[in-house]
Structure formats: C-alpha cells, structure tokens
Chain A
C-alpha cells in the first residue's frame, strides 16, 4: 500500500559523491531537499581507492570548491597524505592528490548533510519516479512511501541493478556488499530514458601485518602541503601515512594467464562496457603482453584500520587466483586478503539525452549526475552533482540555468563532452581533454568560478570580497613588475649567469626577467626593493600569468570565437528535418541531440561546417521573419 510522506522541492536519489553535492547545493540555495540513500552508512563512501584528486581530477575538486561545493573541504579535513603531482611539468598540469581516511571522509560528509538546513536524509530505496505529462511530480520508495517533489536528481552510481562478479560467482549487489537498487531502472525506461550497462572494478584490500614493508618502495607526501579548498587554512596540514609501490613479475603474469578462463571478463559473462583507463590486471597483462611488470600502489585505507588498498590490481578473477597471484609479488608473499577484488556491472544512461544543465530532455525536472551519467570517478561525480543540484534549484525558483562552457572550467568541459559527444566507456577527466588548459589551471579556479558561485548564492560575501582583493593585488603587482626597470649591474649579471641565463647588457623590465624559464618571481626578490609583501597565492599568480602571457592571448581568441557560436541559441523543439539544406546525417544527429546552440551543434560528430553555415542562415531567416 502506498502512503504519503510529504512534499519537497528536490529529491536526490543516491548519497554518493554526486548525490551529496547535489543535495547540499539544492538545500543551500533554499530548496526543501530530501536525500535518499540505500544505507546511511554508505554516504560518500569511497568504495574504490580512498583517494581524492589526481590529474585533471584535482582541477575538478578545486573548481567544485570555487563554486561553493563541499568536496575540497572534506578532503582537506580527512586527508592522511597529500601530494602535488606534475610539479615541473608546467602549472597547467599541476594536480593535487590526497589519500583520504575512508571512514572519516564518510563521517564528515554525513555530518555535513545532517547539519544542513533544508535537507532531510532518508534511508530508502527509490523504486519509481512519478511523472505527469512528462514532468516530475514525485518519487515512490520500495516500501510504498510517496513524496511529492518538483525535481529528481538520479545519482545512483554503481547501485542501479548492480551485479558483482568474482570469478565464476556473480550476484546482485551494490558496492561493498550494500543492497543494489533493483527497481528504478524499469521506471526510468518506462519514462522514455535510454538505459545501458557499464562495468567497473576494484582491487582487493589486504591486512597491514601481512605486508613486508621493508621489501617495497616507500612514497611520502609533500613537505609543503597545498590544500584543495581556497578557504582552508594552510597551517597545521600534515601527512600522517606513507604509501608504497611494488611490481608484478613474470610469475604473477603466469598465474593470471593460466587462470584466465575463470575470469568472467574472458568467459563473456560480463556484458557491461568497462573503462579503458581502469583496466583490470588481467586486461593489462593480455593487452600489453610485452610489458614485463606492472606497478601497484599499496595504500592505507585510513588511520584506524589495518586495511590496505592495492591500487592497480583490480580484477574479477576468483578469490583463490587473486591470493595466488598476489603472493608472487614482492612484499606480498604472505598476503592476507580481507576483501576480494570484484567487477561490478550497473545500469546507467546515455548522457546525450541530457541538456548541459544535466536535465533530461524527455522529462522536465529529471536530472542525472555521476556514474549514472556514464562518467567514472568521485570527482567527476561530485562536479556533476553540484551542477545538477544548482540547476534543479534554479529551475524551481524560476531563475536562469547554470551552464558552464568549455572555456570556463573542467566541469564545463566534462559536462559538454558527456552531453555532446556521449561516451562509449566510463568517462574519466584528463587534462588532454581540455583545449583551453593553459587557462583552466588549478591555481586560478577561484578567479574563474568563485564570482559565478557568488552570483548563484553558494559563496559568501566575505569569501567573494577576499577574492576581489586577491585579484586586485595580482593585477597591481603585474603592472608594477612590468614597469619596473632593472639596470645591468655586476650583481645581477653574476646571478643571471649562475642561473644559467644570459646577462643583461642594457636595462630591462623586471617582468622580462620573470618570464625567462630559468627565473621566477620569488628568486628576483633581492633586485626588487619596492616589492610589496604579498601572499604566496598572489605571488604564484603573478609569476604564472607573466610566464604564460605569450600563449594566453591565442587561447583567449579561440575562446571568444567559441563563445560567439555558443551565444547563437537553437530552439529546443526544432525539427531539423524542416531546415532546408542540411545533410541527412546532420538532421539525424541534430534531432537526436537537440543542441542548445550553434557551438554545441558544431561539436556533434557528423555535423559538418557546411551544416553549421546552413543553421546560421536558418537562424537569420527566423529572426527576420519575426
């Protein structure tokens, strides 16, 4: 029997990284929000590696923070080791990565939701969405509870019809033995949403006492720790653990190859599409047969546990094979498995059905976020959750939607890739996916996005004012160093030669010296008497902006051209068959995806430059006909 359990503005289905950001942002924007999770103990769980950030993903976390999301703050609070990756490869690819304490991270996020005004958390399995005339009106749980809502954000992760495979065994399950969500898929299909099946996997966890740490290589965190959040105080941040590295060997590979027939991946029992960047160890060995060894990282799961995670060893081989091949690895000869590795298949949607707001075109008020949208990764999920939460709130409040374009952020790039190009396998963010990466750096995420977060209402007045001061300081200082003359002197020339760069014969501006690859802002301190006292973030910005000045105008030009096309809106209900002159292939693709604007249309594969011209003429024709 069904019964009513009240009325909300926004219902979020799933309490993972997407769901939490979605629920928090909607509630913070004043919407009465309910967050459903199959288990309260799984909120913001890190079922795979308890690590946040990494290349491009670190950028996402900083952007989430700059917009007013929670992930960066949580990671700063719960990290146990922090490293800035890619130092020395250029600021565009600097990426922050931390190892988090899995339990504390969950607890932090659960508490953040609990204390959030306007947000109720319910342990329940949502079994149906309720719609009227293709519009969301409510959700129903497995127990029969009905909630009237105006918007639903589906963030079901790997729970949706989740199925775990370990060797010859398979069973319905969510991650970490949680219950799967078995009914919602059908309800979505009944409402015209196209569903497909992806797969991912996770390595096993092993007991600390069974690892021979002397036999493996240690990897420590950074001495000077940079936090994710622009609001986190840099003082008192400390690494508490080390991570370790070991390698597979010929014997490991032999054990795996000898038992390949027992892997569901190779026997064809798994139908879901797995991610290319996250291959199981058996995949790696088969596909890269000439590689003599594969790296694995041995990382602690937290401070209060002896569980260690074996990054790089994801597998769906039977438990006994897992034990046997792990025991061939140096340092793991006596390894004790606590949780076996598994592959998990799950239902997700094809994201080209969505607008860049992450709302489905078919059902008004229905949004998707995270792995449900075909992405993979905690950070990718959180970024989408934040955008979906903001947009659901904005729609309910009758405000302008938030669409972040590709030039604004990695978040915008991620969403545009998903909704415009779709994805053939679980989508992972990479710096190489952004054509504007010299501008989309992790160090300037606040300058790019905090003004937007402020306008939306997720950034406090105080934080916004702080940013404005920082931006002013940076601008002022850049102006100053560009004006400041440096005369040739014995002292400076000696220094320049020592740094491996040419001495001065005539005077130059300080900025010209900063621009030299061998030099930097800070090290020129002693030749700069009038230098004001500035924060390290300000100094960093001055240096990066001056060094990259030569490359940035070109990117800005491309951005301007892109935005011009992006501003030419296409009607959502346009039947492209009626646009004279389009090629058949273009009509099909455009009708399937209904792009928002000419820019998005031009990025759809199968839409040629001539088709774009036809659309421009068509738009002008419509404008004049009015």
Chain B
C-alpha cells in the first residue's frame, strides 16, 4: 500500500501542527526531509522516540525546526511505520512541510484512510468497524463536497482545459492507431511534440499557482475593479491599513497592478488593485486596463467599486456584464457624499452589495461579514479542503511527470505506442480529479471527431 500523509491537526492557527506519515516508506521519506540536530536519521531511531531538528526543502534550506516522532510497525496508530512531524502551527509552514513530504514520495491521504488502515491492521476492535465506515463515508462526502466546490474555481477550469488538450492528443493517437486503414490524419511527431510541449507548459504554470496560494484557504485572489477614481485605491489602503496605492484625485493614477495580502477576520485576501477601467489613449494605462480584465478573469473574488456620487456610465454597465455570475461583491463607496447612483440596478445585478465610505473607514465590518458568509459558512471543514487541494496538486504533478516522460520518449525517437502509454497515465491522473474514466473518454472522443468505421 502507498505511504500516505496529511495534516493531523485542525486547520487553524495554533501553537503546533502535526503532519502524519504512514506506510512502508515513512522512515525513508523522513530521512529525506529531516535533518536531526544529533545527526541520527529517523530510520535509525527506535519506536516511540523523538528527535529535534529541521525540515529542509529541496534546496536544503531550513523550513522550520520541528520535533519528529517515530512509531514503528506494528506499534503505531495505523499499525504501519508512522512518522509524526510537530511543527510551528502556521498554515503556511504546515502546508509547506506537507508538500515537501508529498514531494518525497508520500500520497495525500484519502478520506478516513489512517483510520481505515488502523482497522485493516487490527489496531481497532471489531466493534469499531461501523465507526470506521462512518469516518470514511463522512469524510468521503466532505472531500467530495470540497472537491465539488473547487470545481467552480478558475484552477479547476484550467485543469479541465489541460485535460481536454490531452484527450484530444490521445484521440488523435487512438484514431490513428486503431483505424489505420481509414481516412484518419497521420500523427506527425513534430506537431505532437509541440502539442505535448504546450501541455507541459500549461501544467507547469498551473502547478506554480498553487505556490502562490490561489485557493481559498491560502488567500482569496481578490481583484478590486471599477472605473477611474471611484476609490479603489482608497479601499485597498483602507483594507490593508496603510497607504500602499498612490491615491490622488487624478483619474488613472494606478496603472500597474498592486498586490497586497490582508487578513480580514478568518480570511486572507490577496488584493490586487487594478487600473480604472475606461477607454484611454495612454498606452501604458491601456495596458493596465487589459491586465485588469485579465485579472478579473482569474480572480476568486471581485470587489466592484462604484462611486455613489455619480451615475453609472456605459463602461460600468459593461463591467457589470463582464463579472455577472462571478464571485463578486458590489461596493458602493463614498456614501458620505450625495447619492446619484441607481442602487436598484446594482442590487439586481449583484448578490452581495456593501455600502462603505472607504475614506472614513466605515462599512468594512459589513464587508467582513459578507465575506464570511461567502467563504466560510458555505464551505466544508477545513482539513478536507487542504487535502482536496493537495490532491489536486499531487495529481497535476503526477500528470506533469508523465507528460514529460512522453515528451522525452517522443524526442528520443521511441515508437508512438510508448508515448501514448505515458500520455494515458497523465490523463488518468487528471481524471482522478474529475472522476471520469480515461479509456471511455478517449473512445468517445475518437467517435465524435473522426469518421471511422467500415
């Protein structure tokens, strides 16, 4: 059975977090990631003993100092070799360590898997069997729920895009191999190589976004947008507590995208302040506007800022249409001034509307409670979130490995059947996320795109 790992403590900011690793390779993985102060490797440690030292990343830099505890099979919770790493309890550190462990050969634990293994290895009594099944099915449900929640996200859409590219490549290969006598286009190694290269790039880019923390728990990628001078920068400054954006009265001051992380209640927002959206002749500013639209496309959350002291213009209604159906909040700013805006129109278009005066720092508490409603109350429990997330990343990394292997096979001149098998494994990894069956999907693709058959 595979060696598995997960964060064993609740996902909250606390004093200490524990990362648990279980399986045959636990000690081997611990040896690879842990540098003991006394120079004794985990694999040389007795069961039930601890060691103080450092977790190192791939460049051998200390990530955190930790206490590592070794449990030797069968005397552990799961009955397998178990290593527990107690680290400092920040989310960032905890996740970073989990990732290092996963990178070194562990797989993210499935729903209730530690408990399942404990039972299968005779560590839990027969009477606990139902309890075990409960844990599995309830955490299965919540993992499923979380995985489904992720499906609405931009990352998921990107994964689907990559998957579709792979399915298309495999469809071409399958049609070409399975219907050699038919009028099916030849697979040209050069084109194929380009296509694979594109997938490699897309996968690499997507994996990189995980390290920026694009997903809810790692900070919500939030874009502040609106037409010039509605108070976007003021809002950003108000939220981040100090002046970050240049605030002036001249419309179009913010040309670049300014980023900042702020903690609001239990949530972290990664704010980007964008150039005001308007048609402009200024080249640099118009590039800023393009970037703003691009950011909106990728955002987890959009804060659309309106100035209540002026009427909605064409550009603003265009913006409203653009962000319709996205996760967004309408922020009506400058409520200290005279109202000229059509509030009814805005509340028809937005599920959430918050009125503030950024200048006077009024209304931010309302914003916090709306955010809580959007991102906390509607989400399943946190640990499943992390795991669903890590599994996504893990699957992407496996896919990338396989696609790279396909690329190498192709470019060293291997026959296409070997290339195909590598790509198959890649698509299989991505489909772990979507729950589809690779061979079915590819066969369907062949029949939908190619006119084959006697």
Contacts and interface: CB of A to CB of B under 8 A. Distances in A.
A609 B119 contact: no
Contacts of A548: 418
Contacts of A431: 174, 177-178
B136 interface: yes
A54 B452 CA distance: 14
B417 A581 contact: no
Interface stretch (A234-242, A485-493, A618-626): A618-626
B129 A621 contact: yes
A217 interface: no
Q: Which of B113, B181, B447 has the most CB of A within 10 A?
A: B181
Contact of B111 (A95, A311, A610): A610
Contacts of B424: 435
B116 A551 contact: no
Contacts of B413: 516-518
B133 A295 contact: no
Q: Which of B137, B170, B437 has the most CB of A within 10 A?
A: B137
A613 B443 contact: no
A358 to B, nearest CB: 21
State the main secondary structure of chain B at its contact with A: helix
B89 interface: no
A287 interface: yes
A421 B446 contact: no
Interface string A30-64: 00000000000000000011000011100000000
Contacts of A624: 126
Contacts of B136: 581, 610, 613-614, 617
A288 B451 contact: yes
A182 interface: no
B178 A55 contact: yes
A284 interface: yes
A92 interface: yes
Contacts of B174: 430-432
Contacts of B238: none
Given A284-B451, A437-B421, A617-B120, A430 B437 contact: no
A617 B180 contact: no
State the main secondary structure of chain A at its contact with B: loop
Contact of B110 (A95, A276, A609, A617): A609
Interface string A59-93: 00000000000000000000000000110111111
B454 A311 contact: yes
B179 interface: yes
B414 A517 contact: yes
A291 B181 CA distance: 17
A339 B415 CA distance: 43
Interface residues of B, number: 56
Interface string B398-434: 0000000000010011111110011011001000000
Contacts of A295: 182-183
A607 to B, nearest CB: 11
Contact of B112 (A91, A518, A579, A613): A613
Contact of B417 (A91, A288, A621): A91
Interface string A278-322: 110000100110010111010000000000000110100000000
Contacts, number: 165
Q: Which of B144, B439, B446 has the most CB of A within 10 A?
A: B439
A82 to B, nearest CB: 14
Contact of A432 (B132, B139, B177, B437): B177
A588 to B, nearest CB: 15
A616 interface: yes
A191 interface: no
Contact of B178 (A432, A516, A518): A432
A621 B126 contact: yes
B365 interface: no
B180 A85 contact: yes
Contacts of B437: 421, 603, 605
A614 B133 CA distance: 5
A620 B120 contact: yes
B176 to A, nearest CB: 8
A618 B415 contact: no
A278 B453 contact: yes
B188 interface: no
Nearest to A48: B454
Q: Which of A49, A547, A579, A617 has the most CB of B within 10 A?
A: A617
Interface of B: 110-113, 116, 119-120, 126, 129-130, 132-134, 136-137, 139-141, 143-144, 170, 174, 176-183, 409, 412-418, 421-422, 424-425, 428, 435, 437-440, 442-443, 446-447, 451-454
Given A90-B417, A432-B446, 9 more contacts: A55-B177, A56-B178, A91-B415, A92-B418, A277-B453, A434-B439, A551-B422, A582-B137, A611-B137
Nearest 9 CB-CB pairings of A with B: A610-B140, A90-B417, A581-B133, A90-B415, A517-B413, A92-B417, A432-B174, A581-B137, A288-B451
10 contacts: A85-B180, A89-B177, A89-B180, A276-B453, A551-B418, A581-B137, A609-B110, A609-B111, A613-B116, A624-B126
